Amino acid sequence: MEFTKEEKQKVAHLRTRYPDARSLTLPLMWMIQKREGYVSNEAVDLITEELDIPKIWVDEVRSWYTMFSEEQEGKYVLEVCSNITCAIMGSQDIIDHICKTLKLKVGETTADGMFTLKTAECLGSCGTAPMMQVGDDYYEMLDEEKVNHILGDLGKGKKYEQQPQEWVEYK
Amino acid sequence: MKQYRTHCLVCTGTGCVSNHAFDIKTALESEIIKQGLKDEVTVIATGCNGFCERGPVMVVQPENIFYQELKEKDIPFLVEEHFLKGRPVEKMMYVPPKEEAVIPKMSDIEFFKHQLLVVLRNRGRIDPEKIDEYIGYDGYRALGKALTEMKPEQIIEEVKTAGLRGRGGAGFPTGIKWGFCEQAEEDTKYLICNADEGDPGAFMDRSILEADPHAVLEGMVIGAKAIGAQEGFIYVRDEYPLALRRINIAIEQATEYGLLGENILGSGFNFKLNVVRGGGAFVCGEETALIASIEGEVGRPKPRPPYPAQKGLWGKPTNNNNVETWANVPQIILRGGGWFASLGTKESKGTKVFSLVGKVNNTGLVEVPMGTTLRTIVFDIGGGVLKGKKFKAVQSGGPSGGCVPESLIDLPVDFEKLTEAGAIMGSGGLIVMDEDTCMVDVAKYFVEFLEEESCGKCNPCREGLKRLKEVLTLITQGKGEAKHLEMLDDIALLMKEASLCALGATAPNPVLTTLKYFREEYEEHIFQRRCRAKVCKDLIMYRIIAEKCTGCQRCVKACPTEAITGPRSQPHNLEESKCIKCGACYEVCKFDAIAGDAIYIE
């Protein structure tokens, strides 16, 4: 595994930003996760080599932060908020419904590799609970019918109705 | 700048966007062109309006008409009626719960009427992605004043006069904190904006960054001048894509306008700002953990002292404030510390943004002067409890906070009063709970959350949370014993005294406040094996009341385990051994007007 030419430029830019190479661990890991969808062992090696820091520093960052995954996940990762506000507004029903519909358990990926179901801690969208996040999109005020629509549309490779916002890439 | 007779301010905060606000905006724009109004009516995408519950929402100015729950298909009608014929459309206006008459004007709606907007003053009125609109509402004037007319000590003095206290939770006086960092003798100093918002039920920082990112930037540059920092970092949690996008755009635009970077406004002052993306760890909101995370380490807190003001990021003096704190700064400099201090209570000045969520009619972000009562917030602004249920408690301050019971509903909300009640201000999440919420279950929820998010470094927090969870689980399973109440107290006390950082030290608060105010619920669980809110599945039982059952078979169809049987028009049977207590039958029966409460939980 290697960094692309474009990524190398970004790395060079990031080096000017921080006085210390170790600070680049998270940004580089983001870069790889964005490209590969997860952070493999080879990716850990690559970052270790690039930054010339002990491997354990990189390894522990990968396992400690919840946003980095060590395994390939589904094309769409459904993160259903299970925190208190969503819970009292019925998130468990949403989770059960997704499990039933997709025939999986929390933490699992469907056989066709389309969906991974996860629960998340508060995603800061409590005014419109229950909610879930898929990639960069929030889906709020969920009920079973809405979930069916979302899963149906995503399964066909399109976003639920239209979600026209396209986030600028993180700099 | 082009003049228009009508401005449509379409909310494009996260809540409305997920309900297709951008589709509404596009539809409006094309319809306005179609009906030949493009020189008279303009559409502006704004930050969060606050009334997320009714999204997508739009405010039409200058009439101040508030439209809610907009649908794409209704847009042509709306444009024709309102903008062409001058007849505002009642169908899309706000109707208060339990009433029938519409309230056309935003300023007349209870939700907005009691609010005082300082931090959120630009919400719903500017396009957060356009710096000119921010500047149009006095934006960056405070910065000009601070850089050209004020010395660093004067800025700090002004903030001290204002009595501004940290809005992230602890409420430490901001001016004093800046003073510590200013006095540190080092050439390199750093500034941090903590946007790693993670308190369950709180989303004001996300909304501020989405609705008015320049206010945060301006506050930070002023702060940098005050303490002598050359570089700053905004640590944003990764799950906030829209906030990340808007803050990046704001930095770009401010740099282009010479309001960030080298020689700001020709004053010779330099300040650079970077965005750091978090990794999804609640504990990184703790400042030493946050600093560790920027340095590329795992986010474990470190013992203080040394405080970040002496030795922070990369060992240099560092000042860290929360998003809302930074957003208050420009207004204080512009309007004076005295003005700010005139708002609020004796010890807590200014306003506070709360996110009002849970079982309440009007959810959303509200900003009120400190000292406003919980009753005003929950009942006047929030419109009371959902579905007319009985109010039980408000959870304030997230996992470090506590539950305030109904008996304290007239409590004026400020730092001191909430702490006295055993809760804390925290970052300002207010979760409303009704009679269907089990307080033991709530306590268990927070403990589970914290167990998940504890970094595991110190023993009291790591082990204490595990034990609290074990005991609470036993109680909710109907295996509680009298000694458990004492055990909860003991563990909680130990964690408070011995934990390394605030996460552990405040972690028992949800348990302690529920024990204090809702002890009878714990006792019912333990001694009577009863959960009055009917939440704890091991303590409830479903049965069918034969006299009331009309035999409609809806529950038979709804039951996933075939526990309910019986022919049509005859009372059904519920076989207890098959029942998994999912509540599906109860739900369908409740909505059936004829059958009433045929299915009963006891």
CA distance A112 to A75: 9
Whether residues A124 and B203 touch (CB distance < 8 A) is answered with yes
Instruction: Answer with the residue of higher pLDDT: B36 or B282.
Output: B36
Chain B partners within 8 Å of A84 (Cβ): 200-201, 395, 431, 442, 445-446, 449
Find out whether B515 and B488 touch, Cβ atoms under 8 Å.
yes
Same domain, B186 and B268: yes
Q: Classify residue B43: in a domain, yes or no.
A: yes
Q: What is the pLDDT of residue A160?
A: 59
Among B505, B528, B551, which residue terminates a domain? Answer: B528
Q: Classify residue B124: in a domain, yes or no.
A: no
B245 at A interface, C-beta within 8 A: yes
CA distance B313 to B319: 9
CA distance B243 to A85: 21
Q: What is the pLDDT of residue A166?
A: 32
Chain B partners within 8 Å of A68 (Cβ): 279
Q: What is the pLDDT of residue B487?
A: 95
Chain B partners within 8 Å of A91 (Cβ): none
Q: Positive or negative CA dihedral for B2, B5, B10, B11?
A: positive
Highest mean pLDDT among A140-144, A156-160, B520-524, B527-531: B520-524
Nearest to A65 among B14, B199, B281 (CB): B281
Same domain, B213 and B148: yes
For chain B, positions 288-347, list CB contacts with chain A under 8 A.
293-299, 314
Q: What is the mean pLDDT of chain A?
A: 88
The radius of gyration of chain A from alpha carbons, rounded to an integer in Å, stands at 18
Instruction: Answer with the residue of higher pLDDT: B22 or B98.
Output: B22
Chain B partners within 8 Å of A126 (Cβ): 200-203, 355, 357-358, 363, 429, 431
Q: Where are the alpha helices (DSSP H) in A89-130?
A: 91-102
Find out whether B308 and B320 touch, Cβ atoms under 8 Å.
yes
Chains A–B, number of C-beta pairs less than 8 Å apart = 170
Chain B partners within 8 Å of A24 (Cβ): 296
Q: Residues A72-92: what's their mean pLDDT?
A: 91
Lookup: tokens for B303: 């013992």
Q: Residues B205-225: what's their mean pLDDT?
A: 95
DSSP string covering B342-375, please?
Answer: TSB-SSSBSEEEEEEEESBSS-EEEEEETT-BHH
pLDDT greater than 90 at residue B98: no
Q: Residues B194-221: what's their mean pLDDT?
A: 93
pTM: 0.87
What percentage of chain B reaches a pLDDT higher than 70? 98
Distance from CA of B55 to the nearest CA of A (A): 9
pLDDT digits (tens, 9 = 90+) for B293-341: 999 999 989 988 899 999 999 999 999 999 999 999 999 999 999 999 9
Same domain, B181 and B34: no
Same domain, B151 and B239: yes
Whether residues A26 and B279 touch (CB distance < 8 A) is answered with yes
How remote is the C-alpha of B194 from its chain's centroid? 15
Of B77-81, B223-227, B586-590, least confident by mean pLDDT is B586-590
Whether residues A67 and B238 touch (CB distance < 8 A) is answered with yes
CATH at B360? 3.10.20.600
Q: Residues B232-240: what's their mean pLDDT?
A: 92
Determine the residue of chain A that is closest to B297 in CA distance. Answer: A61
Q: Residues B343-347: what's their mean pLDDT?
A: 94
Whether residues B281 and A66 touch (CB distance < 8 A) is answered with yes
Q: What is the pLDDT of residue B590?
A: 62
Q: What is the pLDDT of residue B311?
A: 94
pLDDT digits (tens, 9 = 90+) for A34-80: 888 899 999 999 999 999 999 999 999 999 998 899 998 999 999 99
Chain A partners within 8 Å of B431 (Cβ): 84-85, 88, 126
Q: Classify residue B153: in a domain, yes or no.
A: yes
Among B498, B528, B558, which residue terminates a domain? Answer: B528
Instruction: Answer with the residue of higher pLDDT: B145 or B453.
Output: B145
Q: Residues B75-87: what's their mean pLDDT?
A: 94
Same domain, B411 and B324: no
Q: Which domain holds residue B71?
A: 6-108
Residue B255 CB contacts under 8 Å (≥ 6 apart), including other chains:
B261
pLDDT greater than 50 at residue A162: no
Among B321, B341, B361, which residue terminates a domain? Answer: B341
- b/e burial code for range B76-94 (CB count within 10 A of at least 16 → b): eebbbbbbeeeebbeebbb
Instruction: Answer with the residue of higher pLDDT: B372 or A164.
Output: B372
Please tell me whether the interface predicted TM-score (ipTM) of this complex is above 0.85.
no
Strand intervals (E) in A10-166 = 76-81, 115-120, 132-134, 137-139
Whether residues A61 and B238 touch (CB distance < 8 A) is answered with no
Q: What is the pLDDT of residue B265?
A: 94
Same domain, B211 and B332: yes
Determine the residue of chain B that is closest to A64 in CA distance. Answer: B298
- Name the band, by pLDDT with cuts 50, 70 and 90, for residue B552: confident
CA distance B454 to B10: 40
Residue B426 CB contacts under 8 Å (≥ 6 apart), including other chains:
B169, B199, B202, B396, B397, B398, B400, B401
B277 at A interface, C-beta within 8 A: yes
Q: Classify residue B207: in a domain, yes or no.
A: yes
Residue A100 CB contacts under 8 Å (≥ 6 apart), including other chains:
none
Q: What is the pLDDT of residue B598?
A: 42
Q: Classify residue B119: in a domain, yes or no.
A: no
Whether residues B19 and A140 touch (CB distance < 8 A) is answered with yes
Q: What is the number of H-type helices and E-type strands within chain A?
A: 7, 4
Find out whether A117 and B346 touch, Cβ atoms under 8 Å.
no
- b/e burial code for range B440-465 (CB count within 10 A of at least 16 → b): bbbbbbbbbbbbebbbebbebbeebb
Determine the residue of chain B that is closest to A129 in CA distance. Answer: B358
Q: Residues B193-203: what's their mean pLDDT?
A: 91
CATH at B451? 1.20.1440.230
pLDDT digits (tens, 9 = 90+) for B441-495: 999 999 998 998 888 889 999 999 999 999 999 999 999 999 999 999 999 999 9
Of B52-56, B72-76, B254-258, B344-348, least confident by mean pLDDT is B52-56
Total structural domains within chain B: 5
CA distance B382 to B263: 46
pLDDT greater than 70 at residue B39: yes
CATH at B562? 3.30.70.20
SS3 call for B275: strand
Q: Residues B240-260: what's their mean pLDDT?
A: 95
Distance from CA of A113 to the nearest CA of B (A): 23
CATH at B86? 3.40.30.10
Q: Classify residue B230: in a domain, yes or no.
A: yes
pLDDT greater than 80 at residue A159: no
Same domain, B429 and B456: no
Same domain, B259 and B222: yes
Chain A partners within 8 Å of B437 (Cβ): 88
Q: What is the mean pLDDT of chain B?
A: 91
Chain A partners within 8 Å of B205 (Cβ): 124
Q: What is the pLDDT of residue B138?
A: 93
Whether residues B364 and A127 touch (CB distance < 8 A) is answered with yes
Q: For residue B142, give the nearest of B387, B324, B336, B280 by alpha carbon.
A: B336
**Residue B561, CA distances (Å) to B2, B550, B557, B572, B582 in order:** 65, 21, 10, 15, 10
Find out whether B551 and B545 touch, Cβ atoms under 8 Å.
no
Chain A partners within 8 Å of B443 (Cβ): none
Distance from CA of B387 to the nearest CA of A (A): 13
Same domain, B396 and B452: no
Instruction: Answer with the residue of higher pLDDT: A11 or B573.
Output: A11
Q: What is the pLDDT of residue A163?
A: 40
Q: Positive or negative CA dihedral for B327, B328, B334, B335?
A: positive
